[in-house]
Amino acid sequence: MELKKRFLLLGTVLCVLALVLPAVACDGDETEPTASPEQTFEWDMQTTETPGMMSYDKVFPEFVQAVDDMSNGRLKITLHPNGALVPEREIHDAVGQGIVQMGFSTGAFWAGTVPAGLLSLGLPMSCETMEEMEVWLWDRGVVEVLRDAYAEHNVYYLSPVIGMPYGSIMSKEPIETLADLDGKKIRSIAYFKGIWQAVGAIPVDTEIAEIFTAIATGDVDGANIGNADRFYSIKLQDVAKYYTMPPLSAYASGEFIVNMDKWNELPDDLQAILLCAAKRASTQFAVQAAYGADEAMAKMVQEDGVIVTTFSDEDMETLREISVGVWDSIAEMSDYSAQIVDITKEYMQYLGRLE
């Protein structure tokens, strides 16, 4: 029942957005535009996504089309899959340098350049619903901090894309307890690697397109990538028959980023259109991911023989304690990171999950 209520709420949000989008009544940037209202723009958008993924096949094409429709063809975006223009780990730098005008990925991939980008993904064991993520990002001020951090690299953080759970494991051998992770090579990203390492696993940094082969050849024992739909989209069920729940993060966020110079060139109405379309894509991504995950999980279990296991409450409490310690270590990476961790702790205290 609770899940149905959440989807009804999300559906309401989509309907409201559909009504306001034509009027582009969203907040934009205060930078004075340098273009005339009649000028047209053509952008490339590099993503980490690939054909077969719900995001690439459905959400992003509809985002591109919405921008085109609402702008009457004045802003046209060409979508490119993972690796088509630049490697997935170089999207941030490519956007900042103007090699591509816009990108989609996760800030975790460029945390070495922008430490706060790690937190764009969200923090493990914090927000438990999409609504909580929305409040954390937009109302509690996380987006503003990320925009300040990214601006130092000539990148405009346009909008988070609240995606899906992250931190479940698909593996070749069963992982039923934290003890089973000892010595296992687990593909993961960002702070998730530190969490798995803390319980004895060996974190491995493997690009999305290489995960299937890495597990098939035994170079990796298991992987994080997202929810069941993401695993299914790369056919991991063909080589990994065990799925361990629950995820470390109930929702993990991607991000739309734009070259700062190109953003500042846009008139106010095109900035507002781009932001509104991005926010709608975020909601659609989360809704589609939830339904897609249920369908993919059913197929993997019924058709591919995947076995689902769940960590015990005791193991989850251990992971929660480790995760909060990870928050503190992330806070030391930069002033921006510290600001976001402080926001998170205050919000979790408000929700009664942290003393």
Per-residue pLDDT at 3: 43
Give the integer Cα–Cα distance in Å for 220 and 272: 44
Give the integer Cα–Cα distance in Å for 127 and 286: 14
**Residue 23 clears pLDDT 60, i.e. is over it:** no
**Residue 32 clears pLDDT 60, i.e. is over it:** no
**Residue 332 clears pLDDT 90, i.e. is over it:** yes
- Mean pLDDT over each residue of the chain, to the nearest integer: 89
Segment 58-111, tens digit of pLDDT = 999 999 999 999 999 999 999 999 999 999 999 999 999 999 999 999 998 888
Q: Please give the span between the terminal C-alpha atoms of the chain, in angstroms, as a whole number.
A: 30
Residue 4 pLDDT level (bands cut at 50, 70, 90): very low
**Residue 25 clears pLDDT 80, i.e. is over it:** no
242, containing H or E segment: strand 242-245
**Residue 187 clears pLDDT 70, i.e. is over it:** yes
Per-residue pLDDT at 24: 42
Give the integer Cα–Cα distance in Å for 151 and 317: 37
Residue 315 pLDDT level (bands cut at 50, 70, 90): very high
Q: Is the pTM of this model over 0.95?
A: no
**How far from the centroid of its chain's Cα atoms is residue 252's Cα?**
5
Across 325-335, average pLDDT: 93
Segment 244-301, tens digit of pLDDT = 999 989 888 999 999 999 999 999 999 999 999 999 999 999 888 888 888 999 999 9
Asked if residue 347 lies in contact with residue 135, where contact means CB atoms within 8 angstroms, the answer is yes
Give the integer Cα–Cα distance in Å for 162 and 174: 29
Which one-letter DSSP state was computed for residue 114? -
Which domains does the chain possess?
Answer: 39-163+250-326+335-355 (3.40.190.170)
